Structure 1
């Protein structure tokens, strides 16, 4: 949670793929010899840290 707050902030009109954040997080964990959480748990962490964040889905559903 602290790492997310230190490295990211919300900004209007900006969209980042969740995989970009997760890969950055995995690199941080590797460099600091930490056990990472899985991608699904990381996504839930993002939403709990940055309240009101919206998911932008691409393609047709």
Structure 2
């Protein structure tokens, strides 16, 4: 899973990625590899251990905001 994260994501300044998008991508990967996925909280801890200094932000309009990882993007 750590290698998969490093293969698919990279740190970048000034970009953000919805947490739910990242977790759903991970669930899909787990299903394809026939692995048992961890819950969202444990996945968040894993991401923070892989990408040091990652920040979270709440983006969106009032009542419709979502948490995003700030400083992380999908590799091209």
**With structure 2 as the length reference, what TM-score do the two structures score?**
0.73
Structure 1 consecutive aligned stretches of length 4 or more whose deviation exceeds 3 Å: none
Structure in which a larger fraction of residues adopt helix = 1
Whole-angstrom CA distance in 1 between matches of 2:52 and 2:20:
19
Q: Note the residue ranges of structure 1 that are not aligned, 5 or more in a row.
A: none
**With structure 1 as the length reference, what TM-score do the two structures score?**
0.89
RMSD in angstroms over aligned alpha carbons?
1.4
- 1:20 offset after TM fit, Å? 0.6
Q: Note the residue ranges of structure 2 that are not aligned, 5 or more in a row.
A: 64-76
For the residue of structure 2 that corresponds to 1:56, the secondary structure is strand
Structure in which a larger fraction of residues adopt strand = 2
The question of 1:2 aligning with 2:23 is answered no
Whole-angstrom CA distance in 2 between matches of 1:57 and 1:45:
20
Residue of structure 2 in register with 1:17 after alignment: 18
Task: Report how many aligned residue pairs link the two structures.
Answer: 60
